[in-house]
Structure 1
């Protein structure tokens, strides 16, 4: 259980809508499809209507102070099945990086690796009371590109399993390069918060609006308005 899972959900049934990709910069090919995730007839480039409206607003704020800059979309809607695939994939990557073999792991080693994986990844739960944030269509993973179309260096990769993923990791940096990382992260956070989003406490790239995490970060007494998306709802869009 994550700390935000006690937040109740009162589903508003707002539709998922396609993201107008021409309005943003986009990672291509999609990072998870690139590593074998099979979305089938579904698409990662969907968000709830209100979340998309806010994301477009955030980009307007960005361009007011940084003309030509754009929000770059890494990932948005993520079915629970894809969440499961990426959790398993990440587990395998951690095992490989440690020079271990999955078939030879002790229970203690497995638990240690799962704890590491779940520092970043939400549990792929089918329980309607505890949906993964991306499976609600209200969370988006993003970064920035400058007026030359270059992806800004934020000091860590998206989905990186390290302390560098924490939003405040470079806050007290002393080198010019690391101060730039902090400045870019703060710019991203500023435009998103101004548009109504909240940032994941442990991930500089993850923002949500209307889900359990958002409600928990905003006020412990709020309810969430977005729960797990039902696939049949997506097919209507």
Structure 2
């Protein structure tokens, strides 16, 4: 896939596990949803699938094609269970500052999330940096969820950006693979619970520990416009 060859104009950000410390809350919510239908899925397996869209996650973890009724029940249960965690949502240290710094550098900041619109509102409230955000996507903006690239394409379209003039910041192997399908280089963060080795193996160009770590390393990162162009 081609690297960024034009001047950097925008940065796409995943939200869950990248800007907000929510991956383990999603893990517990999915675990409880599966238990309600008598599926005993280990939490470790669920966590490794976080980053996929809900429909892909269910099929992946059940190793096949669940019935439409089962998928709907699981998705609905997960949504209800996760919404109970909204008051507990916390942005990672440095998340809001990172978005504001990127915006102040003249770059479009676009949230490329496959969360439901209601969940996305709660996540944005936790970040508290709407003044820096140019646009955002939710699950309703794409036909297929990650690791399909639809969400990222919708994010590009929402801000009038081209893949070759953007960088994606995410936290899961599914994020990296999704971006690669559009030729977008990924900066990956390990704060979502995936190791540096796994993220690099998936194709991440750079790996940092957290939004704060990336913010403090901007000059050496792909977000430095001079080095990313």
The TM tier, using the shorter chain, reads under 0.3
Structure 2-normalised TM-score? 0.26
Q: Which has the higher helix share?
A: 2
TM-score normalised according to structure 1 size: 0.26
Which protein is bigger by CA-based radius of gyration?
A: 1
